[in-house]
Amino acid sequence: MDLSRFPRRRYLHGKTPIEPLLRLSERLGGPHIYIKRDDMMGLSAGGNKTRKLEFLMAEAISQNADTIITCGAVQSNHCRLTLAAAVKEGLACHLVIEERVADSYDPRSNGNNFLFHLLGVSGITVVPGGTDMMAAMEEVAQSLTRNGARPYIIPGGGSNALGAAGYAACAQEILEQAFDMGVSFDAVVCASGSGGTHSGLLTGFRGHHADIPVYGINVKNPTDVQTALIAELAEEACALLDVPPVQKDAIRCLDQYVGPGYSLPTAGMVEAVDLLAKSEGILLDPVYTGKAMAGLLGLVREGAFSSHENVLFLHTGGSPALYAYTPLFFDHWQKEDTLSTSVR
């Protein structure tokens, strides 16, 4: 698997850390849980889309684009990071925001939406949930082209074959770190949304003949839909990178942690975010990593892993979205009678 033949911008400087979660592992009674800190990257507040953008932005620049168009949900980490990469490259950036939850877009809201404006977004188009997002982006592109711009469209989540190459590279990085640490990982757990991260990891491990199970915790789709999405993306990524195809039975997508829908809170997500913050001092987000950690906790409690196994949780970032959900956590702490206040 040779990634050097693809143009690449460098937004990462070295490997992101892998840390043991000693206190969390002890509280759960095993397995040995580690975390890959892909929240600790360059660009604005970090996150997994950075790896994909290294390849996607390089292609945009090679095509002489002067404007980036991408899409995402109301609190999209991908939109934040794509905008930050565009700023770094001196390009304009237009966002198409999908209201996956009706009436959820507030132009003055906190979290990532605030950062869109702080980073100087060139334009935001808000569309209803269920909109054909590629068609919506192409409509924006046509309008910008008529005005003399040279737009380049990045799909939602940066999830196409080229974007997935970023996580094929991450799989290689994990294997190198595991060797240096003297650790063999028995499983990897990650959020599974637009699919580029999940399919990229499968492709990268396949390309290095590493049979490490990857558990994708769905954040939006039911299992059958997500499995088909990951299978298609992995097939395209393997073809692009000249890697043998990923076997269908290697695709694990779990939908029991989605709850009522994308970005909608669950009790398991709140517990997971609260637990990791209080046991390890690490911030998760409510949309992706909170539900992914809820999935990891569920797998451990169901006995999916033995106490001596080593499990790697991929932290894909997203903590700025926490600040759009603060009332949810204050209500939880108050209900649990753990809200600390002191009046003098």
- Under a CB-based contact definition with an 8 Å cutoff, are residues 77 and 71 in contact? no
Among 25, 76, 159, 194, the one annotated catalytic = 76
DSSP strand pairing (32-37 vs 92-99): unpaired
CA distance 41 to 9: 14
Both tokens of 229, joined, read 């999405």
SS3 172: helix
Residue 90, Cβ density class (10 Å: 0-12 exposed, 13-18 middle, ≥19 buried): exposed
Bridge partners for 75 per DSSP: none
CA distance 286 to 293: 10
DSSP strand pairing (251-254 vs 214-218): parallel
Please enumerate in sequence order all residues whose Cβ is within 8 A of that of 344, keeping only pairs 6 or more positions apart, or say none.
none
Q: Is 224 left (phi over 0), alpha (psi -120 to 50) or beta?
A: alpha
Instruction: DSSP letter for 46, please.
Output: -
Is 76 designated active site? yes
CA distance 220 to 234: 19
Task: Find, among 51, 16, 38, 47, the residue nearest to 237 by Cα.
Answer: 51
Both tokens of 21, joined, read 């979660």
Residues with a catalytic annotation lie at 76
